[in-house]
Amino acid sequence: MSNAIEKLFDLGQSVWCDNLSRNMLDQGELKRLIGLGVVGVTSNPTIFMKAITGSADYDEPFDRLLGEDRDLVGIYEGLVLADIAEAADQLKPVYDRTDGVDGFVSLEVNPQLAYDTEGTVAEGRRLFAALDRRNVLIKVPATNEGIPAIEALIGEGVNVNVTLIFSLDMYQRVIDAYVNGLQTCVRNGRDVSRVASVASFFISRVDSAVDALLEAKRESGADVGDLPGQAAIANARLAYARFKQCFDTSTAGPFAELATQGARVQRPLWASTSVKNPAYSPTKYTDGLIAPDTVNTLPPATIESVMNGGDASISIDDNISADQACFDRLSSLGIDINAVTDKLLTDGVKVFADSFDQLLEDLSTKKEQLRTAG
């Protein structure tokens, strides 16, 4: 009998784990999750910061890398690339079984490069070559400077996970960058059938931001009705409608032509799907976002909640009028969703950059401690 995660896969939605650590690899946790039906892994600087500084699991490789006279970024990469490579190897059977649809592990470029197009392209190219595995995705944030970097990397055949997408306008630019990159691949004689990309649309942070604004409106006397807890899923459902429109191969268009040469759709990936508001169901952002050709990346605790949940069924349909009405109502209350998503992007980049800086600071402290002890 299929479990809940396998039922989602049967409906066309892949579940990836939003966590990675040396302990998960060494203790068989990733293999256990794969056995449950999890078919991919994502990581980010915050995840690695917690993993590396929160345990002694990295002490031995840290000492070894320190002996190689690496700088702090070199030590960080030595620790992280080893985890990414091993996770990719453990997921390789999934990649083969799904013909390259799933089985991926994601690694983010240095978040300090979020506003540096050329730096992001060089970093993404270098990391992808260093790992030398087709089931690796390089994560690039959806900033103004990230968009041309995404197009350039796709054009070189580098798999890309576009991260930190919040707005529909930016999502359209992400889609266009992917299609343009594929067209470059074709012009350069590359096999587009092996180029993979996902577009990571962040979910719960939208509700956290909008709900706080709605609470302020309510306290000032406005009638907010049932709007709290609606914006995030409405935003994602509108994004899915955009995905279906842009990747429809039944009508003539840029992607339809690419599809005849084996190009794959750039699947929407629902990220930040752990619930921040304890009043909401722990599976709010899984139950409400089930649709074909999508990925939902879940932290371990949410995976367990899904496993303990009920039967899965498609929950995104073609009736998006209610979703648009949600934003119309927000606008009538003076809440500008574009201003909200712009701030979320800026804040998201800062969170990842701060985590990266904190990790380097912790590695520096550890390096000095070992030097003093020696």
Question: Hey, is 106 helix, strand or coil?
Answer: strand
Question: Quick one: DSSP state of residue 54?
Answer: S
Given a cut of 60, whether residue 173 has pLDDT beyond it is yes
Q: Which residues of 223-249 are buried (b: 16+ CB within 10 A; e: fewer)?
A: ebeebbbbbbbbbbbbbbbbbbebbee
Average pLDDT for residues 254-269, to the nearest whole number?
96
Q: How far is CA 245 from CA 251, 320, 360, in A?
A: 10, 13, 43
pLDDT at 93 over 90: yes
pLDDT at 311: 66
* Residue 350 appears among annotated catalytic residues: no
**pLDDT digits over 193-204, tens only?**
999 999 999 999
CB contact at 8 A, 14 and 296:
yes
pLDDT in tens, 51-67: 888 888 888 898 888 88
Backbone φ and ψ for 215, nearest 5 degrees, come out as -65, -40
The answer to whether residue 292 scores a pLDDT higher than 90 is: yes
Unique residue bearing structure tokens 């840290």: 62
Answer yes or no: is pLDDT of 374 > 60.
no
Q: Read off the pLDDT of residues 320-335 as tens digits, 9 standing for 90 and up.
A: 898 999 999 999 999 9
Give the SS3 label for residue 62. helix
Cα(334)–Cα(329) distance, integer angstroms = 9
DSSP class of residue 203 equals: -
Number of structural domains (the chain) is: 1
Half-sphere exposure of 374 (CA within 13 A, CB side): 9
Q: What's the gap between Cα 13 and its chain centre?
A: 15
Tokens of 37: 């039906």
- Check: CB of residue 192 under 8 Å from CB of residue 185: yes
Instruction: Give the C-alpha separation, 115 to 172, whole Å.
Output: 19
Contact predicate 139/108, CB 8 Å: yes
Residues 203 and 232 sit within 8 Å (Cβ to Cβ): yes
Query: Nearest-5° angle of CA 323, CA 325, CA 327?
Result: 80
> Which burial class, exposed, middle or buried, applies to 159 when counting CB atoms under 10 A from its CB (0-12, 13-18, 19+)?
buried
Q: With 70 as the cut, is the pLDDT of residue 373 above it?
A: no
Indicate whether 295 pLDDT > 90. yes
Q: What's the predicted TM-score (pTM) here? A: 0.95
Give the active site residue among 50, 92, 139, 244: 139
**In angstroms, rounded to a whole number, what is the distance separating the alpha carbons of residues 249 and 79?**
42
Query: Which pLDDT tens digit goes with each residue over 18-63?
Result: 999 999 999 999 999 999 999 999 998 888 888 888 888 888 898 8
In the block, which residue shows the tokens 């619930």?
A: 275
> For residues 347 and 340, what is the distance between their CA atoms, to the nearest angstrom?
11
Range of the domain at 60: 4-373
Mean pLDDT of 274-278: 92
pLDDT tens digits, residue range 138-171?
Answer: 999 999 999 999 999 999 999 999 999 999 999 9
DSSP assignment of 109-137, as one string?
Answer: PPGGGTT-HHHHHHHHHHHHHHH--TTEE
| Residue with the two structure tokens 């302990």 | 23
Q: Would you state the torsion angle of the CA atoms of residues 246, 247, 249, 252, taken in this order, to the nearest 10 degrees?
A: 30
Q: Are strands 40-41 and 104-108 parallel, antiparallel or unpaired?
A: parallel
> Cα(286)–Cα(320) distance, rounded to whole angstroms?
18
The number of beta carbons lying within 10 Å of the beta carbon of residue 147 is: 20
CATH number at residue 300: 3.20.20.70
Tallying the residues shown for the chain, one arrives at 374
Q: What is the mean pLDDT of residues 306-325?
A: 84
